[in-house]
Structure 1
Amino acid sequence: MTLPKTLSYDLAPDPAIVFFCLVPAPLLSAAAGFWLAFGPQAGFPDRFSGLALALVHWMMLAVALPVMLGALMQLLPVVAAVRVTESRSARLLLAPLCWITAAALINALSGFAGTAQLAFAAAAICGSLLLLLVVFVYFPALRNVELVDNTTLTLRFIPLPLCVVLVAGVLMAGLFGDLPVPLLPVGWLLNVHVGAASVAWLAALLVGIASTTVPMFWQTPRPGRWFQTFFPASFWFTSLLLLIPAWQTIALLSMAVSVIVCAVCSLFALLKAKRRNDPGYLLWLIAGAGWAAGAMIVLALQCGLLTGNSWPWIAGVLVLIAGVWLPVNAMLVKIIPFLVFLHLRRRLPPRSKIPPMQMLLPVKQALWQARAQSLTLLLLLAIPLHPELLRVIAGFGFATTQIWLGILLLRVLWKFRKLQAS
């Protein structure tokens, strides 16, 4: 496979739509931090406690999914030279529908005023609408994506596992909401839902996007062809095995091994980066270590080497916070100023003075914010030691770092508006 000669920035969508998906993410994740600190504690930190499930679904549905969908809106035209739907209203509906579905799930999982069944039904209906909207917005463009490198390979196929995640989630919510859905085994649906979400969708998407963005922004060696093709294929193949009930254990073990090998290879590449003083570099290192450690814990749990309610929480924090959300934060700090710089250069007269990215978002502030996030990660991992106390400290700390990031990004947009108006 050869690399694309040029990036089609002229095909980039209206920045307002992309910013609408990306910029609210830190403030919405701050809400998760406050919910961790002050939400109902019954059964926490057990993985099936209402608080733990509510936090996971809020972070994935309300925070990560809109960011990923917004990134696809930008990457499909720029990297693959393929436009998504021309319907502005459809693109604008994606993020709010994610937020509404996540809010319904939090209501259901928290059992407010005995409305769990109604809330599950509402979540199933909203999830179905979200599934249809994803298909409408992205699928017509996918057949035109050329398989040039790992990023375009991922862009072409990544909506498929996302649809599997949404279908499994809608079916489970429909069962709990007493809707007329097929009576499938909940345990089987849960394994398909979790495996497809964490590995086939999130891990594959991160590997695909990072193959382009990390070498570009942090000057690491570009991944080889074997890396670009083997790991996404292995993630998707093992996810398909989850659909066979008798093979689910083998599929989970294979997933864990694939993730460990991919994370270790990624860490070796990151250690060769030339821009190690960049704020996002620390977060990417933690992400690689988080995926490796989290997958090792899952592997040990599946093999019976670890027991107890604390380990699933630790594995979840390592994968979802360290492995997913920290690199998303690193990319937001890079991509938002980059998009602002790009659109200013396209819109302002040729001789206009455009501030560099480092002035749009000061590196020193971003570095301190990244260090603060790393500290809150340690607090999140330590919660099982004293759940009542540490969940308040960790939740409040996580919310504070996310509000800090949100303010930094909003300041970038304020400068964007100010420069446009000048």
Structure 2
Amino acid sequence: MQRILSFEQTPALLVPLRFMLTAPLFALLAAALMFWSGPDMLASRWLPATLAFTHLLTIGFLSMTMVGALIQILQVVAGIEIARPRLTAAIVHTTLAVGCILLSLAFLRSEAMLFRLALACLGTGFLWLLAACGIGVWRDAQPTATVTAIRFSLAGLAVALSLGVTAASAFAWPLALPLIELTNLHAAWGLLAWVGLLTIGVAYQVVPMFQVTPVYPVFMTRWLSWAILAGLCSWSASRLFPAPVSGWLADLASLALCAAFLGFGVQTLRLLAQRKRPPDATTQFWRTSLLCLIASALLWLAGEWMPAAANAAWLPISVGALFIVGFGCTVVNGMLYKIVPFLIWYHLQHQLASQGRKAPNVRQIITDRAASRQFQVQFCAIVLMTAAPIWPEMLARLAALAFGISACWLGINLAHAAGIYRTALAEPAPGERRAPVTL
């Protein structure tokens, strides 16, 4: 069931919006890096440019928007009051932004000092976030389906952060560590727990609310988060056992994880098919992202169980493109087109009511036409990003160009929405003079 929303606890607009307005810049940087690197970047997932590109998206785009949404949702949906949300937002936003850039430069330049600075910034930002949100989530929140998913996603973030810091320490200091194993675990917990579970928890609330669908089945909301967490723990623990136990445990865990995400994707597509209104641009973002989630899960299984697919050099990069760009970036993109206009409308409605003025309609803040045009470019970018590892010479720079245009277009649409907010507040009431305002 959806929880009754407590909008009186909503934080100041700048608290979530600063994350959401910044995120497209990092996607644009990632696209520029891919265009500059060209086909060489797609030769392996272990190349410096590939690692920099991945973290520009996972930290700079996905984590940025997810942190902004998390701070908003915890107070409105879960009723958790985050201590000093403005200070928390300012510190987390700054450290993540600076740390992401430093980490990307560290990969590209292979400089130990840059890795140390990046670890300091990212460690500070994520630890502050975990402290600010984690205590209330585990101590004060009612155990709804959304809260459970958020709890597990924050736990996954803590594990991914620990593994990532450990792996990066091998570059910052001369340490002999099993980097490949650490990186695989870091990627699994970061993508499947932090990104995947948080998206699932948010979807329980926003899909019925913004897409006007029936609610998710009780059985799914009760057990899905537990199944994903158990699958991740089992997959990670399989590394501790000797063969052949490690092999069959890893296969069983992989199957369970894929089944869980496939179940979420199929069920959400079914709910969207029962939407009570005609589909809009955000519906297309959701459907495309879910299809990419399903495709990435099936392709991952093929790589795990089929020797011919496992030996294909392009497969892990295409799986990553489907999950990170196709699923993660696209579903976040679609949610931004609902969350940002709604927040701007809500804050304007309250601030203009005392003057007897009305806020612009939500659909006027970011029009469906503007979102639909950007979706078309995003869809092309997904197709090209997925196919580029197979035909890198032909498609690498074309994919980067399409993705860069999509990111730039998203940023323009969000900046336009923020401009509507500033303009509406700056307009004086009859007989009143008013200075320009900021967010």
TM-score by length of 1: 0.93
In 1, are the aligned partners of 2:2 and 2:215 still within 8 Å (CA)?
no
Given the alignment of the two structures, is residue 125 of structure 1 paired with residue 120 of structure 2, yes or no? yes
User: Are 1:172 and 2:170 an aligned pair?
Assistant: no
Q: Is 1:147–2:147 an aligned residue pair? A: no
C-alpha distance in 1 between matches for 2:146 and 2:130 = 20
CA gap of 1:41–1:386, structure 2 versus 1, over 3 A, is: closer
Residue pair 1:195, 1:252 contacting (<8 A) in 2 also: no
TM-score by length of 2: 0.89
Q: Which moved more, 1:333-342 or 1:92-101?
A: 92-101
Q: Structure 2 unaligned segments of length 5 or more: list them.
A: 428-439
Name 2:230's counterpart in structure 1.
Answer: 237
Q: What one-letter code is carried by the residue in structure 1 that aligns with 2:420?
A: K
Aligned counterpart, 1:254: 256
The residue type paired with residue 155 of structure 1 is: I
Measure, in 2, the Cα distance between the counterparts of 1:253 and 1:118. Answer: 41
User: Any conservation in 1 of the 2:261–2:294 contact (CA below 8 Å)?
Assistant: yes
Give the deviation of 1:285 after TM superposition: 0.8
Return the letter of the residue paired with 1:208: G
Partner in structure 2 of residue 290 of structure 1: 292
Structure 2 residue 105 is the aligned partner of structure 1 residue 107: yes
Give 1:15 deviation, angstroms: 0.6
Q: 1:276 to 1:321 in 2, by over 3 A?
A: farther
Give the AA of the match of 2:101: A
The one-character-per-residue Cα deviations of 1:280-333 (angstroms, maximum 9, x if unpaired) are 111111111111110111111111341311111111111111111101010111
Instruction: Give the SS at the match of 2:393.
Output: helix
- CA 1:77/1:408 → structure 2, altered by over 3 Å: closer, same or farther? same
Which of 221, 243, 253 pairs up with 2:214?
221
Q: CA deviation at 1:179?
A: 6.2
Q: Is 1:209 matched up with 2:202?
A: yes
Q: Which of residues 364, 375, 378 in structure 1 aligns to 2:380?
A: 375
Q: Distance in 1 between matches of 2:348 and 2:96?
A: 30
Residue 59 of structure 1: CA displacement?
0.2
Candidates 163, 168, 172, aligned match of 2:158? 163
1:146 partner SS: coil
CA distance in 2, matches of 1:91, 1:384: 37
Q: Give the RMSD, CA atoms, in angstroms.
A: 1.9
Asked whether 1:83 is paired with 2:85, we answer no
**Do the aligned partners of 1:278 and 1:363 also contact (CA within 8 Å) in 2?**
yes
Question: What SS is found at the alignment partner of 2:80?
Answer: coil
Q: Paired residue for 2:129?
A: 134
Residue type at the aligned position of 1:202: V
User: 1:91–1:137: 8 Å Cα contact kept in structure 2?
Assistant: no
Percent identity among equivalent residues? Answer: 25
State the shift of 1:218 in Å.
1.3
CA distance in 2, matches of 1:343, 1:324: 28
Q: For the residues of structure 1 that align with 2:8 and 2:151, how far apart are their CA atoms?
A: 20
Task: Tell me, in whole angstroms, the C-alpha distance in 2 between the residues paired with 1:398 and 1:409.
Answer: 17
**Deviation at residue 127 of structure 1 after TM alignment:** 2.9
Q: Measure how far apart 1:117 and its partner are.
A: 2.7
Distance, in Å, in 2 between the alignment partners of 1:249 and 1:191 is 13
After TM superposition, the structure 1 stretch with the greater mean CA deviation from structure 2, 238-247 or 343-352, is 238-247
Counterpart CA distance in 1 for 2:285 and 2:38 is: 30
Deviations 1:239-295 (A, max 9, x none): 222442234723334322322232222222222223343101111111111111101
Contact 1:66 1:94 in 2 (8 A): no
Question: Are 1:359 and 2:364 counterparts?
Answer: yes
Q: Distance in 2 between matches of 1:223 and 1:204?
A: 15
The residue that corresponds to 1:190 in the other structure is: 183
Which residue type is aligned with residue 259 of structure 1? Answer: F
Contact persistence 1:33–1:396 (CA under 8 A): yes
Who is 2:437 aligned against?
none
Q: Tell me if 1:303 matches 2:299.
A: no
**Structure 1 Cα separation of the partners of residues 221 and 52 of structure 2:** 34
Supply the AA of the counterpart residue of 2:185: V
Provide, for residues 216-258 of structure 1, a one-character-per-residue CA deviation record: whole Å limited to 9, x for no partner.
1112221011111221111111122244223472333432232
Letter aligned with residue 127 of structure 1: L
Name the aligned partner's letter for residue 330 of structure 2: L
AA at the equivalent of 1:395: A
